[in-house]
Structure 1
Amino acid sequence: MVTRRCLLATSALILIGSAAFAAAPVPFDEAAFDAAQAAGKPVLVTISAPWCPICKAQKPILLKLGADPRFSGLSIFEIDFDTQKGLVRRFNARSQSTMIAFKGQNEVGRSVGETQPEWIESFLEKTL
């Protein structure tokens, strides 16, 4: 039988878990990207590849920063460098491990190959 205490604990874990991944990268979705830009939200587009060691180093940094309350409104969209060539061209990315920051509809910066957490954090602050 489920007790009230058990139910409350489970609910708290779900809320904490969902808050921790509030700005986790999601696969690029045109409608969601357009909506986030139209709403003036901070947006980050990452161009990555599953075989890329730099991309693998960037992901935990982005997850950690995404859990930071300062970046709670940040939308992170991920584009696969190998399989989504049309989007890679659209964003004029020349290589994997590219991050493109937007403040609403305006591009505010690009970073390629960065793995220093403090530099990535500074880069993301441009979107705020």
Structure 2
Amino acid sequence: MKLTNRLIRLTALTAFSLLTSLAHALDIQPYTAAALGAAQQAGKPVAVHFHAEWCSTCKTQEKALNALKAEKGLDMTVLIANYDEEKELKKQYKVRSQSVLIVFKGEQEKARLAGDTDIEKIRTALQAGL
């Protein structure tokens, strides 16, 4: 009985730790105007990555972002915008090429990277929105 209770507590603690770490991790999801608007209205940190499927630089940036997903302290959302389809969004933020990452804190732009694949520079840009 003691072993069973101990296992239950250990399992609960592990689950809690996992949920806590996920709550403070980078969340990557497809761009929607509603998601960007909600984050900006709430004053939350959010980034938009203008990504094209045909872009090798974008794919390298995607790998870097995925590597940062589990990093503690990057409690923000990255919205992946389709560069070829989001014409109005590109116009609004004056994006003229794919592989652009724009980081916001609320509605204020805090960082912008264009074509950069260095994970440290991407991390630094994301941290600017926190």
TM over 0.5, shorter chain: yes
Gaps in structure 2 of 5+ consecutive residues: 1-7
Q: How far apart, in 1, do the equivalents of 2:84 and 2:71 lie?
A: 30
Distance in 2 between residues matched to 1:116 and 1:31, nearest whole Å: 30
- Of 81, 84, 101, which aligns to 1:82? 84
- Percent identity (aligned): 39
Contact kept, 8 Å, 1:54 with 1:115, in 2: the verdict is yes
Cα RMSD, aligned residues only:
2.4
Which amino acid in 1 is paired with 2:34?
Answer: A
Structure 1 CA distance, aligned partners of 2:91 and 2:77? 21
1:86 alignment partner, SS class: helix
TM-superposed deviation, 1:100: 0.4
Alpha-carbon distance between aligned partners in 1 of 2:78 and 2:49, rounded to the nearest angstrom = 7
Q: Is the 8 A contact 1:24 1:63 kept in 2?
A: no
What's the CA shift string for 1:55-109, capped at 9, x where partnerless?
Answer: 000112112223212112x011111111222222122101000000101110112
> Who is 1:121 aligned against?
123
Residue 93 of structure 1 is matched in structure 2 by 95
Question: Could you tell me which residue of structure 2 aligns to residue 23 of structure 1?
Answer: 26
- Equivalent residue for 2:4? none
**Structure 1, residues 27-62: CA drift from partner, whole Å, max 9, x if none?**
211122111112111110010100100100011211
Matches of 2:33 and 2:67, distance apart in 1: 25
Q: Which runs of 5+ in 1 are unaligned?
A: none
Q: Distance in 1 between matches of 2:31 and 2:81?
A: 6
Contact 1:24 1:62 in 2 (8 A): no
Match of 1:38 among 38, 41, 47: 41
User: In structure 2, how many angstroms separate the alpha carbons of the residues matched to 1:30 and 1:86?
Assistant: 11
After superposing on structure 2, the runs of 4+ consecutive aligned residues of structure 1 that deviate more than 2 Å are: 22-25
TM-score of the superposed pair, with normalisation by structure 2? 0.78
